Amino acid sequence: MRLLITGATGFIGNAVLARGSSDPAGLVRAATRRSVSGLPDNVESVLVGDLAPDTDWHPAVTGVDAIVHTAARVHVMHDGATDPLAEFRRVNVAGTLNLARQAAAAGVRRFVFISSIKVNGEGTPAGQPYTADDVPAPVDFYGISKHEAELGLMQLAEKTGLEVVVIRPPLVYGPGVKGNFLAMIRWLHRGIPLPLGAIHNQRSLVARDNLVDLIMTGLHHPAAANQIFLASDGDDLSTPALLRRMAAALGRPIHLVPVPALILRGAARALGKADFAQRLCCSLQADISKTRRLLGWTPPVSVDDGLKQTARHFLANPGRG
């Protein structure tokens, strides 16, 4: 297969690139915003610039069979855009559809779009997970833009025959993870007592290796065409359970203080961290039964193995995470 990967230097895209380039019979092309070094010898780099409504993708899409589209405008702390929703739409909707239209015109067969569980919403009652066929209910600008991109891609598929595969992952973790997950690892490594012992929620996560395996399945499986799939490890955890397993992977003791969730949320709101408290305290579960049934897919990496891989990388690179 001749494969193009967008966002090829990112957390997910780089792992897809590594997996795709391991096939000596394939051709892998990495679309990048700027010149990069250190790519595998059998990976062709194509400089395309930003993901935008007017980006010229012709050099990148010509001669490829499939695209894995991981590039996106993601959550921005202290967003400086005058109109953040318009900027999300410009990049994630118009930029994505511009790429897909040029791909269809070039004869690309399949387009795997990495969307987000945020298209479904921001949280679920415990034991009532989101499904791939639920009515979307995005709340934040990122989720709204991903939903609109999904709709546009499916309309394009009907008109052109381009096969679209949408994958909505929840929080993705793995070696080199950043953001709040890395902050959590650092807290545990330092032995800082955490006021999270009284949280009773359930959250779905997905190890990066599991997500990449699902992406590769979506590239090849006939039943994946024009379908939406949710991703997860298939093993939902409460916040305290996740912390205990991560501490065990790090080989560190853990100190969880049972502070009621109501107090935590109030304190977080006062500190301007309400979104962070939402993720720590509330449930968000993804039902992957459709993914299992249609694709015959099972997550190859267990939660504990995924956390151990993440911990090993952190311990080997404590300064960078």
Active site residues: 142
User: E strands, the chain, where?
Assistant: 2-6, 27-32, 43-47, 66-69, 110-114, 163-168, 171-173, 205-207, 227-230
Alpha-carbon span 49 to 11, nearest angstrom: 18
Alpha-carbon span 212 to 195, nearest angstrom: 33
Structure tokens at 34: 């700027």
Of 201, 285, 286, nearest to 241 (Cα)? 201
Alpha-carbon span 230 to 120, nearest angstrom: 10
Amino acid (one-letter) located at 197: G
Alpha-carbon span 113 to 162, nearest angstrom: 12
Structure tokens at 71: 């590039």
